[in-house]
Amino acid sequence: MKKGEFLYEGKAKRLYKTDHPDVLWLEYKDDATAFNGQKRASLTGKGQLNNAISSWFFTLLSRHGIQHHFLDTVSDREQLVRPVTILPLEVVVRAIAAGSLCRRLGLAEGTKLPHVLVEWYYKDDALGDPLVTEDHIALLQLATPVQLAFMKDQALQIHTILQQALEPKGIVLVDFKLEFGLDANGRLMLADEISPDTCRFWDAASGKKMDKDRFRQDLGGTLEGYQEILERLGGGANV
């Protein structure tokens, strides 16, 4: 497999063609961003950590029958993925109050929710990725009711799988963000990444944050938090 023409660069990743029409080459960057790109930094080694962590989670989900775009890792910061057209929706799954949920509803950070909450956010940087309802999604024609039902079901399944895998490792899964895309045959599947950039991970014993909140909140030790997650997962070697 050969890395080909550059296609796209996002906040955390670059995407390239390959010599196979059904495979793309994904490269993780060291860039860290927060607050829709208003805060930026470069954290040497972040790309390698997120590549290893995300690969571990996608491999785990494969064993549980979750369809996704991930195919294989090809280097310490690169992986092969299926080409998909991303739906302009972020699916956020919350078990514990943190971040914008606390600000919107006045909940104390760390409040355990009575049930797992699934929220929808419109992927539009110019609008600040606003929270939207299913009626808003229908109005904007962002996804069909069938697609929404599928994504919600998948999101709840993924929450259960991740929670059961992380609990024995002393990691609390607070919340996480998912993205889904359509392949060339119109199949909807999980895409993007699953990493400390897109999840909140807390230490079960101390409550220490081991995710991008360390960068957002100027807590320091961002890379150390990511590294600790990878080490608790087994260094990325086994699922």
Same domain, 101 and 212: yes
**Residue 181 belongs to domain spanning:** 88-221
Residue 235 lies in a domain: no
Element (H, E) at 145: helix 145-166
User: What's the mean pLDDT when you consider all of the chain?
Assistant: 96
Please tell me the total count of domains within the chain: 2
Residue 229 lies in a domain: no
The pLDDT-based confidence of 38 (bands split at 50, 70, 90) is: confident
Whether 183 contacts 78, CB under 8 Å: no
Same domain, 17 and 112: no
Same domain, 125 and 181: yes
- CATH number, domain with residue 165: 3.30.470.20
Same domain, 183 and 133: yes
Same domain, 114 and 172: yes
Residue located via tokens 């904007």:
140
Whether 90 contacts 129, CB under 8 Å: yes
Q: What is the pLDDT of residues 25-34, one digit of tens each?
A: 999 999 999 9
The set of residues, in sequence order, having a beta carbon less than 8 Å from that of 112 and lying 6+ positions away, is: 95, 96, 97
Q: What is the pLDDT of residues 216-238, one digit of tens each?
A: 999 999 999 999 999 999 985 44
Residue 233 lies in a domain: no
Whether 95 contacts 163, CB under 8 Å: yes
- CATH number, domain with residue 77: 3.30.200.20
Same domain, 74 and 94: no
Averaged over 56-75, what is the pLDDT?
A: 98
Residue 239 lies in a domain: no
Residue 192 lies in a domain: yes
Residue 237 lies in a domain: no
Same domain, 114 and 201: yes
The set of residues, in sequence order, having a beta carbon less than 8 Å from that of 19 and lying 6+ positions away, is: 1, 2, 4
Instruction: Tokens for 189, please give them.
Output: 């599947």
Model pLDDT, residue 236: 54
pTM equals 0.95
Q: Judge whether residue 42 has pLDDT over 80.
A: yes
Cα–Cα distance for residue pair 192/198, rounded to 1 Å: 10
Same domain, 93 and 71: no
Residue 238 lies in a domain: no
Q: Which residues pair with 96 in a beta bridge?
A: 112
